[in-house]
Amino acid sequence: MGTVIKVEAGRWVPSLARYSAAKGLTGLEHTAGIPGTVGGLVCMNGGSQRKGIGSSLNRLTAVMKDGSVKVFQADECEFAYRSSVFQDNGAIITEIELELGKAQVSKVRQEMLSILKSRRLKFPLKLPNCGSVFASNPSMYDEVGAPGFAIEQAGLKGHRIGGAQISPLHANFFVNTGSATAKDMIELIAYAHNVVRNKTGFSMHSEVRYVTPELGTISVTDYLKDLDRDSING
């Protein structure tokens, strides 16, 4: 059995994780339980346990802004922690090729079940949310800790703006309590960012992407740079 698989970008990530486990393929355990499509996962170099899908990718096919089709090799994707070239180049990923390892089916499944159990205990999965809001910064992590810890230490767990709330369960997850607007969520992200920056000196970068008619998809952190900070800080 080969270890190279091709996957359409529209495939549901948990479905891909289950498929790889059933085939005795290892390398995607960290994607278990991540809601979203494969294309989105690659665009964000998503994953868990500080891992990213980019480490398993050989190449991918994308449609460029001018309509041309281009094949990107892994080293052309500019993968870094929770980032890739596709966040800025406007390309639409259509198919990816992954190279995985071989392992016993039981071991892969056991690892995935362990990860899923941990996610259920740590994350607020019963409410709509942005997923992990701020990316981990190695320098900040060594000195202060993870973003969620920094937000919690700043006393912001449970803080609300409109219908958006910093989860009481995990401070790096911002949830929709039922009536949150995009404005509520952006203002809450800005507030948490500024409080932590003032307390620690570190500026956290938001993983959340905001879609605007003028700018397309852009990091909330970058979007906020163009706004009047006084108006969003209240």
Catalytic residue among 20, 56, 83, 132: 132
Catalytic residue among 82, 83, 167, 187: 82
Best CA proximity match to 211, nearest among 181, 231, 182:
182
Is residue 106 part of the annotated active site? The answer reads: no
Catalytic residue among 136, 167, 187, 207: 207
Is residue 15 part of the annotated active site? The answer reads: no
The beta-carbon contacts of 7-10 under 8 Å, at least 24 apart in sequence, are: 7/38, 7/95, 7/96, 7/97, 7/98, 8/38, 8/94, 8/95, 9/37, 9/38, 9/39, 9/42, 9/92, 9/93, 9/94, 9/95, 9/96, 10/37, 10/38, 10/39
Rounded-to-integer distance, Cα 114 and Cα 190, Å: 34
Is residue 118 part of the annotated active site? The answer reads: no
Positions marked catalytic = 82, 132, 207
